[in-house]
Amino acid sequence: MLDYEIKNLKRFEKILGMDEAGRGALAGPLVVAGVIFPANYKNDEINDSKKLTSKQRENLFFKIQEDAIAYEIIELSNFEVDELNPKKASIVGMEKIANLLADKYDVVITDFEKLNLQDKKQINLVKGDTISISVAAASILAKHYRDQVMRKLHLKYPMFSWDKNKGYGTKLHLEGLRKNGVSPFHRLSYKPVKQAIMENNAIK
């Protein structure tokens, strides 16, 4: 049971948990999500998104949205990730969500990212998605949303197997890069993508 809020934050009624998905991927957007649950919310099915199956994440994606007081999901494009770097892009996305929901929460929990927020208490937890239900829920929203984006992109660029690897650097993805060059959705600042650019022309 992810009970950090119940054990440590009883004095706060409105807690915003945030997390991201896709930071290490070679292609596609980085997705950030934020979730605010009712006070003392419990759901034993919610866990770190990486520990759940695709079907479990899909079911919880809709359940979390039903139960949440408020939530937000933001995409940062591969171009923004290249321009900012993955860590800063995550922070920018989280700060956008924190500002969008500013009148709906008292405290922010992040998965270790420190944000530049005015007049809001924040808690930056190491492996927050394994102990905080709010952060874990945000990780599920971000992960499922991003997986759906990558499945749609796969239809246009099947040579990279994004339906299976979701843009991460698997053997099939790297083979696709070597054979076909990069797509408009690859992150050009990432080393395997840079190498593919040197070896091939970009897909038009």
8 Å CB contact between 176 and 194 = no
Q: Order of strands, edge to edge, in the sheet holding 121-124?
A: 70-76, 30-36, 15-21, 107-110, 121-124
What predicted TM-score, i.e. pTM, was given to this entire model?
0.94
Confidence of residue 204 (pLDDT cuts 50, 70, 90): very low
Domain ranges of the chain: 4-154, 156-199
Provide the 3-class DSSP secondary structure of residue 56: helix
126-140: pLDDT as tens digits: 999 999 999 999 999
Tally Cβ neighbours within 10 Å of residue 50. 12
Find out whether 82 is annotated in a ligand binding site.
Answer: no
Find out whether 111 is annotated in a ligand binding site.
Answer: yes
CATH number listed for the domain at residues 4-154: 3.30.420.10
pLDDT of residue 201: 55
Find out whether 106 is annotated in a ligand binding site.
Answer: no
56-95: pLDDT as tens digits: 999 999 999 999 999 999 999 999 999 999 999 999 999 9
Phi-psi label, residue 22: left if phi above 0, alpha if psi -120 to 50, beta otherwise:
left
What proportions of the chain, in percent to the nearest 5, are helix, strand and coil? 50, 15, 35
